[in-house]
Each structure stands twice: as C-alpha cells, then as structure tokens.
C-alpha cells in the first residue's frame, strides 16, 4: 500500500465531504419537490344524501300547489256564483218626448243573453242606438246586479216629407210617421241633399230672425231649384244657385219697398240677374150691401 502525502489526504477528504454534502442537498431538493406535487385525495361525496332533502322539498311544494289549486278553484267558483247573478233592475235615464222607458227596456231585455257578468254591453248599446229616436246610448253595470242606461233622444229641427226628420246634426232620420212634428218646418228634396238643406235652413233662419218672417219649409226639386216658404204664405223662388245671397237681396227690397204690403205679398221670383218679379195675393171680394126698402 502506497503512502499518501498529507496534503493529498486532506484534499481527498474535503472532496469526499463536498460530494457527500452535495448529494444530500440534491436529495433534499428532490424530496421537497416531490412533496410539493403530492395533493391529498378528496373523499367521494354522497350525492344521494344531498339530493334526498331537495327531493322532499320539491314534493312538498308540489303538494302545496295542488292543495292551493283545489282551494283556489273552489274559491273562484264561489266568487263567480256570487258575482254572476241575474240582473235585478234596469235604470233608464234621459229626457224623453218621443220615446218611453217601457219601450227602451223592451229593447234592452231582448239583448240580455246572460247573467250580470256575461252581458254584452256593446251589442246592447248598438241595439239602442239603432232606434231612430235614440241619438246616443250609454250602458254600464252597477254592482252587484243592476244596469244603468243613459239615453240622449234625437232633437229634430225639421220634418223630411211625411216620413222622416232632420236632427240637430243635419242627419236625415227615417221614421214611420212624423205627424207628431207638425209644428216644425218641412223639407222636400233628394236625400243626397238633406245635409245641405239642413245647413241652408239654419243659415236662413238666422237671416230671417230680424225680418218678422218665419221659415215654414224648403223644397229642392228634381232640377235642384230651391224654393223657400215663409210665414204668411209667402213663397220665394230662388233657383239653382246663390240661395243665401238672393234671400238677402229679397229682404233688402222688402224692408225698403214691400214691408207695408206684407199681407198682400204672395210670391217673389229671384231667378233674374238684375231684379225680381212679385206676385200679389188676390184681393178679397167685397160683399155688396143692398139697401133695405
């Protein structure tokens, strides 16, 4: 065995020490790395234990809804029974000259095809407004079982021939008999001219208001020629155009020249461009008195 030098031995021992220490350090490092990567395993959950309370709550909620639905159905049926009862009374409001409450109630009863809630108020209103003497109708429910009906009756301003009248809006309304309106002016003419005649009447009445004349009627013939009939049996022949202008011209001449002879005036023809023709009533026969002997 060869002898080693002291220096050599010391160097070798130091090298072995470094080698041993480095190995331990590397081992420690590998151990720490392995330890950091390893995670503790989780225990598997018991899903049945988790879902069982949830399932119980769902079943409980379903039963609650079912019970509530049955009770709600019974309550709803009870409410419907309380609300949907037969109509006990009909209140009719309005001022009537040509209609009666009994007649209007008969019209309403024909439209009552159900109980209080089931009634079709629109069809009831339409049936009332289809009556010629009804201008507007309003129908409403009054809790718990009454009907309140408000009627606005037509307001005629003139007769239309023998079967009809003109209302305040200028509409022609057909009726079977207008003899109850004998005190109103009477119009004759094409139906297509009814509104124009009504508007002319309103303007004519205003023009005549300060003249002492009243308006008795208006006639428009098949040639669309106008005639105006005044009180005291005075007839004004206007022609086909300028009705109001010619009427104003007549009144101007009347006030200046004819007013003193009003009782004798029979007809005035205004169809001339620059004048008029006047016809007089025949003079009454004066009875001759015979002297007694």
Closest CA to 268 of 198, 185, 211, 190: 211
Domain final residue pick, 129, 153, 177: 153
Instruction: Specify the DSSP class assigned to residue 252.
Output: H
Residue 33 lies in a domain: no
Predicted pLDDT of residue 85:
78
Q: What percent of the chain has pLDDT over 70?
A: 68
Residues 177 and 275 in one domain: yes
Whether the pLDDT of residue 25 is over 50: the answer is no
Please say whether the beta carbons of 178 and 186 come within 8 A.
no
230: left (phi over 0), alpha (psi -120 to 50) or beta: beta
Residues 180 and 247 in one domain: yes
149: left (phi over 0), alpha (psi -120 to 50) or beta: beta
CB atoms within 10 A of CB 156: 21
Provide the CB-side half-sphere exposure for 257 (13 A, CA).
6
Residues 203 and 115 in one domain: no
Residues 117 and 141 in one domain: yes
Residues 180 and 268 in one domain: yes
Residue 97 lies in a domain: yes
- Give me the domain span that covers residue 170: 156-280
Predicted pLDDT of residue 218:
97
Residues 193 and 255 in one domain: yes
Whether the pLDDT of residue 292 is over 50: the answer is no
Predicted pLDDT of residue 67:
54
Residue 25 or residue 104, greater confidence: 104
Predicted pLDDT of residue 222:
94
Residue 50 lies in a domain: no
Residue 233 sits in a domain whose CATH number is 3.40.50.11690
Q: Which long-range contacts (CB under 8 A, 24 or more apart) does 100-108 make?
A: 104/128, 104/131, 104/134, 104/149, 104/151, 107/131, 108/139, 108/147, 108/149
Task: State the chain's mean pLDDT as an integer.
Answer: 81
Residue 238 lies in a domain: yes
Residues 212 and 258 in one domain: yes
Residues 173 and 190 in one domain: yes
**Each residue's pLDDT tens digit, 59-102:** 666 666 655 555 555 555 555 555 567 888 899 999 999 999 99
Residues 113 and 202 in one domain: no
Residue 1 lies in a domain: no
Domain final residue pick, 105, 122, 153: 153
What is this structure's pTM? 0.65
Residue 264 lies in a domain: yes
For residues 116-129, average pLDDT: 92
Residues 109 and 182 in one domain: no
Residue 45 lies in a domain: no
Residue 148 sits in a domain whose CATH number is 3.10.20.310
Residues 141 and 178 in one domain: no
Predicted pLDDT of residue 29:
46
**Each residue's pLDDT tens digit, 239-286:** 999 999 999 999 999 999 999 998 999 999 999 988 899 999 998 765
Residues 195 and 216 in one domain: yes
Residue 167 lies in a domain: yes
Whether the pLDDT of residue 111 is over 50: the answer is yes
Domain count, the chain: 2
Domain final residue pick, 118, 136, 153: 153
């Amino acid at each position: 065995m060869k002898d080693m030098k002291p220096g050599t031995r010391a160097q070798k021992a130091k090298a072995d020490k470094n080698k041993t220490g480095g190995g331990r350090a590397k081992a420690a490092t590998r151990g720490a790395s392995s330890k950091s990567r390893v995670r503790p395993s989780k225990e598997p959950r018991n899903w049945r234990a988790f879902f069982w309370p949830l399932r119980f709550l769902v079943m409980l909620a379903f039963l609650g809804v079912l019970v509530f639905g049955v009770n709600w159905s019974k309550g709803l049926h009870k409410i419907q029974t309380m609300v949907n009862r037969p109509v006990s009374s009909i209140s009719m409001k309005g001022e009537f000259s040509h209609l009666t409450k009994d007649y209007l109630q008969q019209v309403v009863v024909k439209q009552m095809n159900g109980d209080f809630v089931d009634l079709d108020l629109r069809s009831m209103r339409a049936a009332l407004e289809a009556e010629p003497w009804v201008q507007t109708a309003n129908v409403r429910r009054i809790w718990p079982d009454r009907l309140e009906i408000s009627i606005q009756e037509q307001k005629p301003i003139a007769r239309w021939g023998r079967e009809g009248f003109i209302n305040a809006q200028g509409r022609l309304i057909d009726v079977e008999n207008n003899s109850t309106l004998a005190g109103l002016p009477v119009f004759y003419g094409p139906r297509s001219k009814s509104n124009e005649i009504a508007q002319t009447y309103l303007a004519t009445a205003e023009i005549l208001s300060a003249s002492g004349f009243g308006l008795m009627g208006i006639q428009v013939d098949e040639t669309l020629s106008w005639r105006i009939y005044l009180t005291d049996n005075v007839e004004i022949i206007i022609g086909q155009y300028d009705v109001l202008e010619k009427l104003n011209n007549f009144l101007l001449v009347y006030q200046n020249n004819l007013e003193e002879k009003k009782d004798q005036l029979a007809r005035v023809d205004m169809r001339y461009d620059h004048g008029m023709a006047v016809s007089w009533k025949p003079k009454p026969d004066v009875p001759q008195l015979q002297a007694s002997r």
